[in-house]
Structure 1
């Protein structure tokens, strides 16, 4: 077995009602694009940006979707970023559904949150402790 790192990335898998509409939101509002949509008709996508990806997996028509955000506003995905304020401004200009403006948290992160097409809560933050 190699002594190198074995785990080098993780991708949240978000369940969506319509992968085409969900992907359009990620592409136009967040600048995350999938190289393709899989299935005929499409049911799966892997939007990517800056070497970070997430997966969108379409559920059967009419099946319920239960975002973590439905449980006291818990996050469905957290993204560590270089500059939360700059990214917030970009997403806001693109018309993303901003839930929370950038703010400093007690755990030394400056973060903001958005809601996607299916109600998933996505949080974007950068370290303000000076340790990073």
Structure 2
């Protein structure tokens, strides 16, 4: 018997102006499936792909979308690891993803960058 609790998942939670629009982007472009919308009109949405979830919470009023983008920084909003990086690249490119950096080789592996419909930058690495 373990003496420590086991983590079984983690999900980024992004604040967005339109949770339906954002969820549909992740479904139609990045291949996620909808777990559900909450309230009517929706103020929260959850999507999943291969056991990994991303959650979206509605921004109230005219508040701006906050990302990790800082001038001169290469920090992204989150990372997705995909061993079959060429297949995923081809899949999302064909679906209309905004690829802001093609696959490049780094000292730690290959990666490419996507900007989602709200300006969040996703690094996809192998």
TM-score, structure 2 normalization: 0.91
For residue 60 of structure 1, report the CA deviation from its aligned partner.
0.7
CA contact (8 A) 1:12 1:55 kept: yes
- Structure 2 residue 48 is the aligned partner of structure 1 residue 48: yes
Partner of 2:30: 30
Please identify runs of 4+ aligned residues in structure 1 that moved more than 2 A. 1-5, 69-73
CA drift of 1:4 comes to 5.9
**Separation in 2 of the partners of 1:70 and 1:17?**
20
Aligned to 2:84: 83
How many residues get paired? 125
Structure 2 unmatched ranges of 5 or more: none
Q: How does 1:48-127 map to 2 (within 5 A)?
A: 48-71=48-71, 72-106=73-107, 108-126=108-126
SS in 1 for 2:124: strand
TM-score (norm. length: structure 1): 0.87
Q: CA RMSD in A?
A: 1.6
Provide structure 1 residue ranges, at least 5 long, that are not aligned to the other structure: 127-132
CA contact (8 A) 1:17 1:65 kept: yes
More displaced 10-residue stretch of structure 1: 68-77 or 113-122: 68-77
Going by fraction, where is strand more abundant, 1 or 2?
Answer: 2
